[in-house]
Structure 1
Amino acid sequence: MPRTLTENFVEQFRLCNVQPNETIGIIAELGQKQGYVDAAVAAARQLGASALVLHASSLSNPMLPPYAPDGREVPALLAAAGECDFVVDVTVGGLIHSDVRTRITGNGKRMLFVAEPNDVLERLMGGPELRAVVESGGRKLKAGSTLRVSSAAGTDLTADISGENLPITHQWGYVDEPGRWDHWPSGFVACFPKDRTAEGRIVLQPGDALIPWQRYVREPVTIEVSKGFITAVVGDGADAHLLRDYFDSWQDPEVWALSHMGWGLLPQARWSAFDVYDPRSLYGQELRSTAGNFMWSTGSNRFADRETPAHLDVPMRGCTVEIDGVAVVRDGTLVEG
């Protein structure tokens, strides 16, 4: 029988090593996702922890400009979160690319973002086995020099991932270590290649995904990349037009940059999610995490000092992902070992 939202939060908080003497800070927006707030508070109490709810008037970014952030609440928010041991983000858009997240985790706090519907949270909940697979993928990236992605449709993209300081995102869906951020649910590994090193071509095919638009690509689109930036979006269909219009609307060259790249590792994640569910009820983690997808993104990259609210994640099917010539994904299927 499916678990309630509170029951799933209890299970997740156990994975996050919540202790009875801890204080959990819950960051939320007024009038939004109250069920998640209530479940997080109830779960904390069941585990003997205390809970502090931090409501802000608005922290979500719009999907189109104009955007002028109002940071007046941030200092108070950070001060309160700094007194907590574990911070749960249930804002609508999430604090993933914000200074708030960076400063909270930079102070050694565990931080978890939660956005998906309850049955998705339960079905895709991670554990130690998933963590081991994600960490293995991270080690492969860390040891590599060149990431190459190709496909039968014509994708052929390379990026420089050399160096000991390569930023890698390991997402297995829970946080049990100081200073760690994750997104429940998750199951993928990604890196931020050296800025301005991506070169080549990406060819989107029908059925690939556009997040946070929460829909599938309908017609082929060719995206030309030079020195880490998109230089052309080619295609006669609606998707090519909409992508060009979206990038142009920000009037900001930073939105055309490529950001992180990686692949999905969660076997129970299904590509059909955007058709099975109301796509606007989803944050897109199922598509990001589907085993064997190649996912790349645009815009924000805090490691390159590039901050912009314009950010697309694009999971793709049927790609081959190689590190120094050794495939970790072949034609959309994970390579064992």
Structure 2
Amino acid sequence: MSKGIVLLAAGGTGGHVFPAEALAHTLKARGYSVHLVTDSRAERYAGKFPADEVHVVPSATIGSKNPISVARSLWKLWVGLRAARRLVAKLKPVAVVGFGGYPTVPPLLASTGLGVPSIIHEQNAVMGRANKALAARVKAIAGGFLPPANGQYSDKTVATGNPVRPAVLAASEIPYTPSQMGETFQLVVFGGSQGAQFFSSAVPAAICLMKDEQRKRIVVTQQARPEDKDSVIASYQKLGVKADVSPFFGDMASRIGEADLVISRSGASTVSELSVIGRPSILVPYPHALDHDQAANAAALSAAGGASVIKQAELSPQKLSSLLSSALSEPDRLSATAAAAKATGKPHAADVLADLVEAIASGQSVQEFKKKNEGVGA
């Protein structure tokens, strides 16, 4: 018999959906029924998300200064809030957990308004706009990279880490054995769940500048946006480099597990997965993020010696080519970087977050939870 329904709300990008998916697996294993509230963008992840039911609730972000656009967004939010209130009243969840992104706003406003124990999980080192708007209303704030001393919300913040999916935990069991001189070098390139156009031109251009004997060793797995895919494939074919290029890889965790080196953006889920799996990386934070959250996430891993961080504006093809050449010729350094990354990983974050959800659902305060779980989230 189910212990009750836990309603998870997440924006429809991998950075929000993946940690929600990890928590869903853990809660299901503990006997809870899990429902997901999201938007239509999450359809690509639905096949692997262990939800008993998925609900799409209208929502919108207010990013425009155009009065007509603002009015439309407010109306959509109002419609979404009414739908979310009906959904929460019908399901009677024991707890609601939001993972950021504007689709979480209606269900969390509804749950807090109806008195349902509610939590938000912030993946990044800097709180996003949706979570900022909800922070004062919820019982607890769980953080991936948030400091426990979280300003005015320190008393209800728990540093749980970012939950990672079972596929990531499986990949973490693969030992890191960097390729030696003359052996195939597996390079994995991705820009988060939505891709990164910058890498579509920068990485092939950098590999083009490498010496023939190094270039022949490289095998590339690269995520590219649909509109860039054909040109990226053509670039690698011209160079004679073996490459698997796709807009989305359902088995990205295992591909990271097989990688010698990863080049990627530094979203919270990406950094957390690289840490748990333990792979060296070159991180290029997305330069246009409103809160510079990717730079803060990357800095945490870099400070531990688990990654190199380069600003996009400073990463010329020549610079990237030099970094790749050094990586191919220094396997011992890659091993040390991989070990440093793995030392920062939090493979049990989903369990800690599930413990917090159960505690808040039972009426415990965050302070009581911390007292009973000394050393957790402090």
TM-score (norm 2): 0.28
Q: Larger RCO: Structure 1 or Structure 2 (Cα < 8 Å, ≥ 6 residues apart)?
A: 2
| Greater percentage in helix | 2
Which one has the bigger strand percentage? Answer: 1
